[in-house]
Amino acid sequence: MPLLLGDIVPDFTADTTTGPVSFHDWIGDDWAFFFSHPADFTPVCTTEMGRTSQLSAEFDKRGVKPIGLSTDSVDEHLKWIDDVNDTQNTTLRFPIVADPDLQIARLYDMIHPAQSETAAVRSVFIIDNNKKLRLTMTYPMSVGRNFDEILRAVDALQAGDRHRIATPADWRPGDEVIIPPSIDDAAAKGLFPQGWTTHRPYLRTTRVQD
């Protein structure tokens, strides 16, 4: 069955570059950014691993743990990390899952046969502290991920959880947010005492403070 938004993500145990991991236990009370790569020692993947490492403080302040995967061994991953650190001017500390038998890649539908029968596409899974899938993105092998968008999407999800709001197109923290139509005006008065602007009966905007 496909993995759908709101589903509890599949648990797994695996060897990683930081030791064995039981996925749900590893997530704990945090969020996870689980992302796959076609192979070690490939150019786009090297830049993505480096960028994730460079953004470690940004992930930390959001309570998000990065964890990568490619269909290579731990030994290959560890050799590759040296290259990532050298070429991307970073020190990579997050775990990279070894999946040489494709078991986890298939469990998470990371293998798209029109792209490759043996290498994972560039999948993104944002998973919350309840182990629920909150967002997915899939990039082809030739296109590197937009990490600004990944962080922005995490901010939007977490703001929605905190404030019961939705976010408009191109939203950034501090911008106006949307009061969902499911919240009527009477309930909105309690949730948003700062007030709101009604553009249409279905479109009300306000600002929230974190």
Enzyme catalytic residues: 45
* Identity of the amino acid at 175: D
Q: CB count, 10 Å around CB of 192?
A: 20
Binned at pLDDT 50, 70 and 90, residue 1 comes out as: low
* Identity of the amino acid at 5: L
- Find residue 122's DSSP bridge partners: 139
Contact 163, 157 (CB under 8 A): no
Q: CB count, 10 Å around CB of 20?
A: 11
* CA–CA gap between residue 122 and residue 78 (Å, rounded): 20
Return the percentage of the chain with pLDDT > 90, whole number: 91
For the segment 54-79, what is each residue's pLDDT rounded down to a tens digit? 999 999 999 999 999 999 999 999 99
- Read off the tokens for 35: 């992302």
For the segment 123-158, what is each residue's pLDDT rounded down to a tens digit? 999 999 999 999 999 999 899 999 999 999 999 999
* CA–CA gap between residue 185 and residue 190 (Å, rounded): 9
* CA–CA gap between residue 210 and residue 162 (Å, rounded): 8
For the segment 97-120, what is each residue's pLDDT rounded down to a tens digit? 999 999 999 999 998 888 888 778
Relative orientation angle of helices 43-54 and 147-163, to the nearest 10 degrees: 40
